[in-house]
Each structure stands twice: as C-alpha cells, then as structure tokens.
Chain A
Amino acid sequence: DAGVTQSPTHLIKTRGQQVTLRCSPKSGHDTVSWYQQALGQGPQFIFQYYEEEERQRGNFPDRFSGHQFPNYSSELNVNALLLGDSALYLCASSPRGRAGELFFGEGSRLTVL
C-alpha cells in the first residue's frame, strides 16, 4: 500500500515564476493538507482540502492556491514566487473522521533563486 506520494521531490525556480506541486494521498484517505516547512522550523499549515473544497486556511497570501480532484489527489500552486518561498512543502492525508492523524509525504523541496 503506497503512502502519500509527492512530486517533484526537488525543484529550482526563479523569482516571479509559478510552481505547481502534486500530491497523491494514502489509499482510503479523503482529506489532504499542505504545510510549508522552512529550515529549522516546524511545519506551518497552508490549507486543507476535503470533498474538493478548501476547508481551512492558514496565514498564507492568495499567491498560494490549491485544488483537490475527485480521486482525492491535490495540487498546490504558488504564483509570483519570492525568495522567502524557498522551503520544504509537505502534503499530508488523513482518513475520514480522523483529521488529526496525518500521514505525511516526503515533501517537495523548492528553491527560489
């Protein structure tokens, strides 16, 4: 049984560009959350998707947007990249009714130059 898979694992962009990160949740999970983790910090909540809708959002600007597809997979889009967006982006899925039991992927390491 595959866990949470994310792609790409590493990518480099320049300021002002746009990026799309992808996530496939663990089988049987229907809720997907995205987190940003800067070096030396704990993960920071970006948003959560359930039933193809954004259900909760953290303190991130509108440049961060997402989508959840009918098969529960999800995308994170970041527009107008800034140097400060350089971070590890983590996707987590959780089973229905157990939103606190997050299963995380290995993350996508984004470097903005």
Chain B
Amino acid sequence: DAKTTQPPSMDCAEGRAANLPCNHSTISGNEYVYWYRQIHSQGPQYIIHGLKNNETNEMASLIITEDRKSSTLILPHATLRDTAVYYCIVSRGSGGSNYKLTFGKGTLLTVNP
C-alpha cells in the first residue's frame, strides 16, 4: 500500500471549515483513499473514501487532486466534537473482503471555541 504523509497537528475555529491535507505521491491506479478519525478513548470511525472523483457524504467532503498524489478532507462546519486524530489511508480496492488498512499516526485536529 502507498505511504501517506499528514501534518501531526492542526487547529480550527469552531464553525469554520477544517481542511485536512494528505500526501500520497506513490499511490497506484487501483488504490483508494480512505479517511478515518479517532476521538479520544474511542475506536476509529470511518468517514469517507474515494478513488479519483470528489466525494461527499453527511460527515465530510473528500477532494482528490487530478494527479491523485494528494487529497483534502473537508469538515464544512467544525464543532468541538470533531476534535480527534484523523487518519488518511491508501489501500487497494474498495470492494471485496480480503484486504487490510494500514494506519499511520494521523493528524490531531483541535477545534477551538
């Protein structure tokens, strides 16, 4: 699986958009970008994933650059409850039942009042 690079920490003001960057310059054509987050003392939570098109769901938007070497997770209106470690993961496939996700250290997002 391709390696990802994320800033160790970021701050965001409550109510503003949080934009979390991720570099994955060695991504292969069949690898997807996944985002998870982990609130303190809880298990990780799936947020969103995509291949090359931008994706949006009720939690966030995922913007993938045209060359697919980087992506940005956008939380449109951050709240204090969004304070968490955010993990960007690259892994082959979206379907199937036979592959793993490799977590790095992620980005600690702190939403300030």
Binding site for B on A (CB under 8 A): 4, 30-31, 33, 35, 41-45, 48, 50, 55-56, 58, 90, 92, 94, 96-107
B105 adjacent to A41 (CB under 8 Å): yes
> In the assembled complex, how far is the CB of residue B90 from the closest CB belonging to chain A, in whole angstroms?
10
**Identity of the chain A residue whose Cβ is nearest the Cβ of B48 in the assembled complex:** A101
**Identity of the chain B residue whose Cβ is nearest the Cβ of A45 in the assembled complex:** B100
Interface SS of chain B: helix, strand, loop or mixed? loop
A100 adjacent to B98 (CB under 8 Å): no
> In the assembled complex, how far is the CB of residue A21 from the closest CB belonging to chain B, in whole angstroms?
13
Q: Interface range on chain B: under 10, 10 to 19, 20 to 34, or 35 or more?
A: 20 to 34
Contact residues in B for A94 (Cβ distance below 8 Å): 97
B28-58 interface with A by 8 A CB criterion: 32, 34, 36, 42-46, 49
Instruction: Say yes or no: is B113 at the interface (Cβ < 8 Å to chain A).
Output: no
Evaluate whether A56 and B98 lie within 8 angstroms (CB atoms) in the complex, with A41-B105, A100-B91 already known.
yes
Evaluate whether A42 and B97 lie within 8 angstroms (CB atoms) in the complex, with A101-B49, A102-B46, A103-B46 already known.
no
Residue of A42, A98, A107 contacting most chain B CB atoms (<10 Å):
A42
Contact residues in B for A30 (Cβ distance below 8 Å): 97
Binding site for A on B (CB under 8 A): 32, 34, 36, 42-46, 49, 85, 87, 91, 93-106
> In the assembled complex, how far is the CB of residue A66 from the closest CB belonging to chain B, in whole angstroms?
14
List 5 A–B pairs whose Cβ atoms lie within 8 Å, in order of A's numbering. Answer: A45-B103, A48-B100, A98-B94, A98-B95, A102-B101
**Identity of the chain A residue whose Cβ is nearest the Cβ of B32 in the assembled complex:** A100
Evaluate whether A43 and B103 lie within 8 angstroms (CB atoms) in the complex, with A100-B32, A101-B49 already known.
yes
